[in-house]
Structure 1
Amino acid sequence: MGPPANSPSPPGSGDAAVASPKSAVGSGNGDELEASAVQNAIEADDTADDHVDDSASDAAYESDMNSTGSTSVSSSVRDYVFENNRRYHKFQEGRYLLPNDDAEQEREDMKHAMCVSLCSGKLHMCPLENPQKILDLGTGTGIWCIDMGDEYPGAEVIGLDLSPIQPSWVPPNVRFMIDDVETEWVDPPNSLDYVHGRHICMTIKNFPRLAAQAYTALKPGGWIELQELRFKIFCDDGSAPEGEGYGYTKFINLAMAGFRSFGFDPLVMENNKNMLIDAGFVNVEEKIWKVPIGAWPKDRTMKTIGIYNRSLIMDGLHSVGIKPITKGLGWSEQEVELLLVDVRKALMDASNHVYYTFHAVYGQKPGGS
């Protein structure tokens, strides 16, 4: 059973198609990765097992997932709404389409550990020097803020989010605020050393305005950094079916169309570098990592990342897709679940040597010493 008659058709293969194997880094149809920005290569393991236990490598990330602290967070907005058996934020209801329940929080913390591992243990890529005040946009569970507070004990680290889901005990230099980053910022001009946003492409509708507000709030010489997963599937060796022949690509196309119907651009990171330049930032750089999906890489670290990434995707299919596809495109929950059967089969097939990419773009406000 397909979507209702009035549901928009899925976008064409130009939106999130499996890239052609003609190029090691893209399709030749506008999907190329800037080779000089790519930080890693992935070699396939021909002996990869389709049925690797996605929980087998939990211990490798356990130290990254556990954080302790010493100062309680002030209580704030605590109301929630429930839909499709998932819990969502109440403050500014509808601004964020993903749930904020325990399952999604665990997935977000796992995504944090995966991204830090992908970046060789680094929490940021820009060359920070003795930052005094750091702002994290869309902080989620607050795990990045907590780790940054530990790494920079002399800095004040502030996490901003719509949901009050952060831990009640954090390092003494870390605090959280419940607010909408798309409203007017309360930070005085020239007051911040570093503005960070990760996985916020499905939260922000006006990125140029956000960049302008960050520019004003940053001190001369301060940095902004935006880190995003780019939901566009690549395959360098032709092992995966092209276009929507690969089930996960069909899901991505539908979910992205659903997000766009709410006014979000899930592929905004494709223009983040130019956006920061247009906002007036200098020393703008972009770094790109290939993120494998599944156990197919030969390199042990990349294989572990691939297993974790597949688990993140599998666990997040419902949370990422249910609201955009049902509310945005008019599908029923049952139709979405039927779609996910083929998506899960594609994801568990290790013969599909597919990946998407992780982008870190950073720039500096002119001036400073």
Structure 2
Amino acid sequence: MAYKPFKGQGGSRMQNPHDQAAIIAAPDPEYRFTSQDGEESEVDSALGDDAFSDSSSHNSVTPSILEYRTIQGRTFHSERHSSFYLFPNDEQQLRSVDITHHYLRMLIGDKLFLAPISDNVQRVLDVGTGSGIWAIVFAEEYPQAEVTGTDLSPMQPLWVPANVKFEMDDCTQPWIWPEHHFDFVHIRFLFGAIADWDELLQQAYRVTKPGGWVQSCEADVEIRSDDGTVTPDSSYEQFWNSLYRNAGQRLGVSFQPIQDDVQKKAIEGAGFVNVHIRDFKFPIGGWPADENLAEIGKYAQLTLLNDAEGYTIFLWNTVMGENAPGYQEALFRMRQDLRNKRIHGYMRCRYVYAQKPETPSASTSTWS
């Protein structure tokens, strides 16, 4: 049993997420399936069970250096780092990372970023690069740029464009690059990994060239609905939302960066100007009537169906205790709800991008 809870470039005006238009749901689906326990649910017919098979852990290139931790068969980055990351670094998780990249690009109009950087951008830093997919695609689209991706684990592919390189680095520690080094600093989906957002953006400010740009993309992990279909007794609330809520309190990190407004505060506090904020909702599942949002929702659903375990196993052990009973049952309920098109769940996503002043006397805000 589940445990009980204990488009284009934007302007400088912030849009209140609570004022965003609700996503319109398509009519109730007719297609149904019967699970192994005999319970019927709705599913997206395009997403078959075969797409969500388990995979083996990512093999380390040099085990003496990597020393990956293993938790119930899943590998996590080495404990030699002073910070910890809550999600696995194996192939199953990296598939979800790549799918996430795809739907986030769709969400902002098939763009890699929103910041108005120069077409002749020279040096780019991708912080928390994960699978490296954003850095690789950027390097392909901007062949004159030198792109550096950093992460706690060397889990990126070996065959990449000549103008991209990956480095093992902990972004919560002092950054190694000199001042005024990068034209563009890209930060995406570090929720739960950063205890001090102010320090992170101060580091980004230091290494950004005058006139250069920083962009942060984050999501609130809470799955919610505008029409009440995410009910208090759903697995989204009883398992997913409650688990992240309690883990955030226990670990001292934010899984609700939009609600806590960490991006804007840290970016402005670091000294960046021309701050722009764009708020989005991405659905979980193909339930929206809008075809583009429905496709985005199917990909977001796929990330969770592929690896709901990877997103929750570390947190379950942290909050409930290692090997606490009820976890597999909670996962089963979560997967059922993910396939139910009558549950109109979504997450909030926020892009914040801003510019380092050309001169120290430049204004620190463009809010209107």
Q: TM-score range by the shorter chain?
A: 0.7 to 0.9
The yes-or-no answer on 1:252 pairing with 2:241 is yes
Deviations 1:322-368 (A, max 9, x none): 11121233263542112222222222221122211221111111116
Deviations 1:291-344 (A, max 9, x none): 111121112221111111112122232111111121233263542112222222
How far apart are 1:42 and its partner, in Å? 2.8
Is the Cα–Cα contact under 8 Å of residues 190 and 218 in structure 2 kept in the other structure?
yes
Q: Which residue number in structure 2 is paired with residue 154 of structure 1?
A: 144
Among candidates 282, 295, 300, match of residue 286 of structure 2: 295
Deviations 1:128-176 (A, max 9, x none): 1122111111101100000110111111100000011111011111000
Among candidates 17, 38, 45, match of residue 33 of structure 1: 17
The yes-or-no answer on 1:262 pairing with 2:251 is yes
Counting aligned pairs with the same residue, the percent is 33
Amino acid at match of 1:147: V
Q: Which residue number in structure 2 is paired with residue 44 of structure 1?
A: 25
Aligned residues: 326
CA distance, structure 1, for counterparts of residue 47 and residue 276 of structure 2: 35
CA distance, structure 2, for counterparts of residue 220 and residue 261 of structure 1: 38
Is the Cα–Cα contact under 8 Å of residues 258 and 349 in structure 2 kept in the other structure?
no
TM (normalized to structure 1)? 0.81
The unaligned stretches of length 5 or more in structure 2 are 7-14, 32-41, 51-60, 363-368
Among candidates 123, 134, 142, match of residue 133 of structure 1: 123
Q: Structure 1 residues 74, 361: CA separation in 2 closer, same or farther (over 3 Å shift)?
A: farther
Deviations 1:250-284 (A, max 9, x none): 22221332244223211124311122112211111
Q: Which residue number in structure 2 is paired with residue 84 of structure 1?
A: 72
Alignment of 1:191-210 (within 5 A): 191-210=181-200
The yes-or-no answer on 1:338 pairing with 2:309 is no
Is the Cα–Cα contact under 8 Å of residues 185 and 215 in structure 2 kept in the other structure?
yes
How far apart are 1:182 and its partner, in Å? 1.0
Give the secondary structure class of the aligned counterpart of 1:175: strand
How far apart are 1:245 and its partner, in Å? 2.3
Is the Cα–Cα contact under 8 Å of residues 151 and 167 in structure 2 kept in the other structure?
yes
Is the Cα–Cα contact under 8 Å of residues 285 and 361 in structure 1 kept in the other structure?
yes
The yes-or-no answer on 1:221 pairing with 2:202 is no
The unaligned stretches of length 5 or more in structure 1 are 4-8, 12-30, 59-72
The yes-or-no answer on 1:55 pairing with 2:36 is no
Deviations 1:41-92 (A, max 9, x none): 6321104342213537x9xxxxxxxxxxxxxx99994432211110111142
Q: Structure 1 residues 54, 95: CA separation in 2 closer, same or farther (over 3 Å shift)?
A: farther
TM (normalized to structure 2)? 0.81
How far apart are 1:246 and its partner, in Å? 2.6
Runs of 4+ residues deviating >4 angstroms: 73-76
Q: Once superposed, what is the RMSD of the aligned Cα atoms?
A: 2.7
Give the secondary structure class of the aligned counterpart of 1:106: helix
